[in-house]
Amino acid sequence: MKIIITLGIGDGPTELSAFDNALHQAGIANYNLIRLSSVIPAGSEIIDKKIDWNNKEYGHRLYLVYSECSASEPGKEAWAGLGWITEEKTGKGLLVEHHGPSEAEVKKQINDSLKRMQEYRPDKYGKISHKVVGIKCKGKPVCAIVAAVYKSEGWN
């Protein structure tokens, strides 16, 4: 399975419209999002690439893990990030999502979570990888999103 990491930032008159704008910038605005937890199946490959599926499969289900953060107070920042670790031989792994007011805080949370999650598992994971994005509120609400897209599926 190929899991694609994409990201986006957006603004709008409301936090919801900023979220939708960020989804559009990430290339996944026109899907019904089905949020997954943090397990990467065996045989997976993580691909870090921005996608543009906005007009690909309107209304389909999109299975994903995502982190999003909004800010609506001028001067505040919104940061979102995903971090992951995988076994080299099997491709299985773990994925975490964090958000916060700064890039440093989000990266710290990602590293702390994944280090701890490895401690009680027998698996041998590789190095921690991450993708983080942020935006500063200058007046209108803003949103940052990072998503790990597993697959899309139609309704029939």
Here the CATH number for the domain that contains residue 7 is 3.50.20.10
Q: What average pLDDT does range 127-148 have in this prediction?
A: 98
- Alpha-carbon distance of 7 to 81, in angstroms, equals 9
Percent with pLDDT over 70 in the chain = 100
- CB-based burial label for 58 (10 Å; 0-12, 13-18, 19+): exposed
Whether residue 38 is predicted with pLDDT greater than 90 in this model: the reply is: no
Q: Give the chain's domain count.
A: 1
With a cut of 90, say whether residue 14 has pLDDT above it.
Answer: yes
**Residue with structure tokens 């870090």?**
48
pLDDT at residue 97, rounded to an integer = 98
Closest CA to 83 of 108, 49, 102, 50: 108
Residues in contact with 26: Cβ distance below 8 Å, sequence separation at least 6, in sequence order: 6, 7, 8, 50, 51, 145, 146, 147
Q: Which domain holds residue 45?
A: 2-153
Q: What is the pTM of this model?
A: 0.94
E strand segments, 24-116: 32-35, 39-40, 45-48, 61-71, 77-86, 93-100
- For residue 24, the SS3 value is helix
The pLDDT of residue 45: 95
pLDDT at 156: 83
Of 24, 34, 16, 22, whose CA–CA distance to 56 is shortest? 24
